Structure 1
């Protein structure tokens, strides 16, 4: 994995930090983000204090000052600042654990409290049905199968990409999908009839494609998709019928929220979604959309 090393005169243990993150199963994108945040902090530290960055001399006050700078001067979102703080906390915890520094300056740093969580980007039923009809009308069997797996299995983008043909077990009356999620946690998702049909229709084509890859879905280059490649597919479908403010993760929101609205126990939804507990599910997927808040007000006499 490549990243920019030229921001300061010294490496300040970036290679070692990256190796550590890989050892605890952080994804490539997460590692890249953490390193960029550390490098951004080093650059800010040098410009602010007019001395070269050295993690040994960083104090808790420096990190607090950076937090204030990001919030008061750059006006970044609280979630963005908290992500940067999480990167620095991980970095300095690593340095302390490896005895590169004696004291962890980020230990007592707290995240910025967010008073009201952001409204989730989820599909309402009308938008879901309109998009589903449009994708089916397009006739692309792979895209149809992707959409059904996204919205009726609740998988993440990277999880869909990594599905292997051998991860699917379909019989006449039921089916099962093996999903490898974050931190390589495995979960099994029963397959809805529409998902089984969509996969079977795609497999009739997929089995004739000559490629060394055993991924269920492959790009036109006969290689696994990238996350941006998957997003471009559905971004195009959405744009064609005027749907905006929808992401791939909106499909996962739709899956979880629909189950919860249908009365499924939150612990079951959490297990299907690959969450560590129902608390995570409740924190994210029970937040009402703006349209639901407006509809609630309209019920007042």
Structure 2
């Protein structure tokens, strides 16, 4: 359920129509996605305010200038620019759907090409082994459980941190973890014995609460 803080759009200023349009757009996202989307939308509205532009009355050329500003003034990477432009385009597309605008000023704005190959490098086998050993020796048992969930189960950090002790169960004789994944979908993940032991150590007899 969305709360007023989740949908806070104070960055929309005193324009009530713009504020309501922003609320309608942000309400379409899950809680996790909404945080990043709200931040990207805030940056765009701030840029408009500094130039005395009204977001609901901008031209395609002005949206192009926003893209240029991100590239040449803020020196954002292509992937960041593409994401922020996608948020702006999504906002205007929602405004068209809701009948606030006839056409989206961002519809034909060019976005930088982004490679499908991720530049992010993972840990080597030896590095991950060292991380496992260090977390196992930690005074905080949740450290080892978190590293095991990330490295051995392949969970995202947000997914691991949302796991509750009640999410641990058993299916067909196997221990499993019910993890809330992307798109609010529940994934049933079989637990290797080492991960199960790490999570049991972190639970330490508790019947409720998060693992980390």
Coarse TM-score class (shorter-chain normalised): 0.7 to 0.9
Q: Give the Cα–Cα distance (whole angstroms) in 2 for the partners of residues 128 and 88 of structure 1.
A: 39
Change (3 A) 1:16 1:65: closer
TM-score, normalised to structure 1, is 0.60
Bigger RCO (CA 8 Å, 6+ sep):
1
Change (3 A) 1:201 1:75: closer
- Alpha-carbon offset, residue 4 of structure 1: 6.0
2:91 aligns to what? 91
Q: SS in structure 1 opposite 2:130?
A: helix
Does the alignment pair 1:42 with 2:43? no
Change (3 A) 1:6 1:107: closer
Q: Give the Cα–Cα distance (whole angstroms) in 2 for the partners of residues 188 and 21 of structure 1.
A: 29
How many residue pairs match? The answer is 205
- Alpha-carbon offset, residue 200 of structure 1: 2.0
Change (3 A) 1:82 1:12: farther
CA RMSD, 1 decimal: 2.6
Does the alignment pair 1:10 with 2:15? yes
Q: For the Cα contact (< 8 Å) 1:38–1:91, is it kept in 2?
A: no
Change (3 A) 1:69 1:35: closer
1:153 aligns to what? 153
Q: SS in structure 2 opposite 1:62?
A: helix
- Alpha-carbon offset, residue 11 of structure 1: 4.3
Change (3 A) 1:123 1:189: same
Q: Deviations over 1:94-113 (max 9, x none)?
A: 11111111111111223201
Q: SS in structure 2 opposite 1:13?
A: helix
TM-score, normalised to structure 2, is 0.83
2:36 aligns to what? 30
1:217 aligns to what? 211
Q: Deviations over 1:245-268 (max 9, x none)?
A: xxxxxxxxxxxxxxxxxxxxxxxx
Structure 2 runs not aligned, ≥5 long: none
Q: Give the Cα–Cα distance (whole angstroms) in 1 for the partners of residues 14 and 22 of structure 2.
A: 17
Q: Give the Cα–Cα distance (whole angstroms) in 2 for the partners of residues 205 and 180 of structure 1.
A: 23
Change (3 A) 1:34 1:114: closer
Q: SS in structure 2 opposite 1:187?
A: strand
Q: SS in structure 1 opposite 2:137?
A: helix
2:133 aligns to what? 133
Q: Deviations over 1:180-235 (max 9, x none)?
A: 1122111111111111111222233434xxxxxx33325xxxxxxxxxxxxxxxxx
Q: SS in structure 1 opposite 2:83?
A: helix
1:195 aligns to what? 195
Change (3 A) 1:186 1:89: same
Q: Deviations over 1:26-55 (max 9, x none)?
A: 5341342243133234225xx2xxx44141
Q: Deviations over 1:114-167 (max 9, x none)?
A: 358452131111111111111112242222111111111111122112212221
Change (3 A) 1:36 1:154: same
Structure 1 runs not aligned, ≥5 long: 208-213, 219-301
